[in-house]
Each structure stands twice: as structure tokens, then as C-alpha cells.
Amino acid sequence: MYYRMICAALIALAIALLLGPGLIRYLKKLHFGQTIYELGPSHQQKQGTPVMGGLMIAAGILAASLICHPIPWSGEWDFILPLLAVSFLSMAVGFADDYIKAVKKRHDGLKPMQKIAGQIIVSLGFSLYCYFSPKVGSCIQIPFTGLEWDLGVFYIPVMTLLVIFIVNSSNLQDGLDGLLSTVTTVSSASWAVICLILLVSARAADSADTTTVGVFAMSMVGACIGFLRFNRYPAKTFMGDTGSMLLGGGTVAMALLLRQPLLLLLSFFTPIMSSVSVIMQRYYFKLTHGKRIFLMSPIHHHFEKKGYSETQIVSMYAGITMILSLIAIVSVCAMQ
């Protein structure tokens, strides 16, 4: 089964690389350009850079996941269904947001209630799927202990909120050239390694399902690496909400299906901190009547204001994600 994961990464990489140039030209032709927020860091040189580049990531993930899917098909509870559903339905919300910004020229995109309504439908549906699935259920793994925590019926609202939080955290992380795609590459690679560990242990109850998650993880790795060819500094295209919500949805789907949502605190730490920094900034600003903790939130913009270059911040975030992802991998090894 391991070769399927390698093939998935190579197929997704090839598709992203092949589609990239043509997609960028097409987006430019349609004038689907990024509008730079005037109050943000000095990114005016990026004005008009094609957005929705995340479509090349989506194509790579979709094709690679289906082509390398383990045989035989395991019916309605096959993990490929929720993986693709959460990822692409989250992407659909992001695509609508990008479309309104790029075509309708409304900087705010979807109205907050429209966006959250779409996300609630997706996250609640996925949480219900996991809860009733005979392969997932309401129990989650406690890292390093080998113990399980049965959330009972509370699994549904807790995981619904978690999916929304992770998808929006991923969206907030996408603020610098190559940042989210680099972090997701490292994070997804760690989920693939975790799948390999589970496959060689007795804890992999269904090797086909674990392989499916591993294939999906490596599809994300390959697609993100291919996308980085066009998104590294200086970026030729941005993934937009289309790509960031796709990656957030895919990441949280893998964690829940493997019953390891707590490991997101490690493997997806930097996107989570993007959300935390925004929340801290907002409430501190209100409580202190105008004072700020950070020069700007999300926190990667704080580092920009402090004088760090985009490439330095991306490298720092990649290093942090790699170290914490290794800890996540060790935690799974400790449970075997």
C-alpha cells in the first residue's frame, strides 16, 4: 500500500505543475486579481496578482486521491467520501468568497452570515458522519497515552466547532507568499507518516481506510509542492480562500477520521496561532479601549512589521511545524 502514497504525491505534483501556467494565464485574462487591503503591510506590488490559484491544488488532490485509492471500494463508509466532501465543500465556500471579491469587486466577499452558514452545514454534516460511522465513532485518542476519550453525543457540537475553527485558521494563515502551502506540505507529510505507523501496528483496524487517508495526505503534499512553484516569493498567483479552505478542510478531515484531532495542536500549530492571535488582539483592543498586543494580526503580519522578510517568516513557520509534527509522530509511536 505504501507505493500508492508515493504515486499520489507524484501525480498531484505533476498535475499542479502542468495546470499552473495555463490557469494563471486564464485568471489574468479574466482579471481575477487580488485586491490588497490598504491597512495591511506594504504589499501594494502584489495588487492584481491572480487569485483562485488553489484550483490547481484541488485538481491535483482530486485526481491523485481517486487514481491511487485502495482497491476494493469499501462502500458508503469509505474514507475517500468524507475526505473529498469536507475539502471540496469547504473550497466551494471559499470559491464563492473569492468570486465575489474578484468579479463583483466587493472586498469583503461573502457576508459573514453567508460564510458561517456554509461552514456550519459542511462541518455539522461531517461531524454527524464521523459520529455514526462504525469506523470512527465518538472516541478520540489522547496523545502519548494510548487512552481514548469518549465524548458521547457532545462529539457532534465539539467537532463541528473544531472543523469551522481549523478551516478559518487555515484561511487566516494564507497571508504571505508560500506560507500556508509550505506549512500544509510539512503538516500533511506528518499525517502520511502517522498513517504508515498505524499501518504497521495493530491499531490500524482497517488498513484500506488508513491507506486512503495516507494517499490523501500525500496528494496534499504533492499538490502543495507543485503550487509552491508559482506561489513562492514573489508569488505569481495566490491560492485565495478557494485553496486555503480546501487545505483546512482536508487537514481537519484527516485528523478526525484517524481519531486524532488533538494532534492538530501540534501539526497545525501555526494556523491555529493565527486565529488565536486575531482573537487575542480583538478582545484586548476592546478591553483596553484601543491598545494592541501585536503590531498587527494575524501574527505573521506582526513579524512583518518587526522587520522580518516574507521568506524568513515562511522558513520560521516551516521549522516550527516540522519540529511539532515530529513530536506528533513520536506521540503516535508511543501509543503503539
Q: Give CA separation, 102 vs 4, 36, 85, 242, 244, in Å.
A: 37, 11, 25, 12, 16
Q: Work out the burial of residue 108: count CB atoms within 10 Å of its CB; fewer than 13 is exposed, 13-18 middle, 19 or more buried.
A: exposed
Q: In the prediction, which pLDDT does 103 show? A: 78
Q: In the prediction, which pLDDT does 257 show? A: 97
What angle, rounded to 10 degrees, do the helices at 240-257 and 54-67 form?
40
Q: Contact 176/300 with Cβ under 8 angstroms?
A: yes
**pLDDT 10s digits, 196-210:** 999 887 654 568 899
CA distance linking residue 157 with residue 183, whole number of Å:
27
CA distance linking residue 100 with residue 15, whole number of Å:
27
Q: Contact 172/278 with Cβ under 8 angstroms?
A: yes
CA distance linking residue 152 with residue 133, whole number of Å:
13
Q: What percent of the chain has pLDDT over 90?
A: 76
CB half-sphere exposure, 17, CA atoms < 13 A = 10
Mean pLDDT of the chain: 91
CB atoms within 10 A of CB 326: 15
Q: In the prediction, which pLDDT does 35 show? A: 60
CA distance linking residue 260 with residue 189, whole number of Å:
15
Q: In the prediction, which pLDDT does 200 show? A: 85
73 against 291, higher pLDDT: 291
Report residue 216 as a C-alpha cell.
490523501
**pLDDT 10s digits, 69-103:** 987 777 778 999 999 999 999 999 999 998 888 87
Burial 236-247 (b: 16+ CB within 10 A, else e): bbbbbbbbbbbb
Q: What percent of the chain has pLDDT over 70?
A: 93
Backbone Cα Rg of the chain: 19
**pLDDT 10s digits, 136-177:** 999 999 999 889 999 999 999 999 999 999 999 999 999 899
Helical ranges in 133-206 per DSSP H = 155-173, 179-199
CA distance linking residue 237 with residue 53, whole number of Å:
6
CA distance linking residue 22 with residue 147, whole number of Å:
49
| Residue labelled with grid coordinates 498587527 | 296
pLDDT at 43 over 70: no
In one-letter notation, the amino acid at residue 303 is: F
Report residue 15 as a C-alpha cell.
498535475
- E strand or H helix that includes residue 323: helix 310-334
Q: SS3 helix, strand, coil % of the chain, rounded to 5?
A: 70, 5, 25
Q: Contact 283/292 with Cβ under 8 angstroms?
A: no
Residues whose CB is less than 8 angstroms from the CB of residue 37 and which lie 6 or more positions away in sequence, other chains included = 107
CA distance linking residue 209 with residue 225, whole number of Å:
25
Nearest to 214 by CA among 202, 234, 198: 198
CA distance linking residue 208 with residue 70, whole number of Å:
6
> What length does the chain have?
336
**pLDDT 10s digits, 267-278:** 999 999 999 999
pTM of the prediction? 0.94
Helical ranges in the chain per DSSP H = 2-29, 54-67, 80-102, 112-132, 155-173, 179-199, 207-231, 240-257, 264-267, 269-287, 299-305, 310-334
Q: In the prediction, which pLDDT does 311 show? A: 95
- pLDDT-based confidence at 37, cuts 50/70/90? low
- E strand or H helix that includes residue 117: helix 112-132
pLDDT at 324 over 90: yes
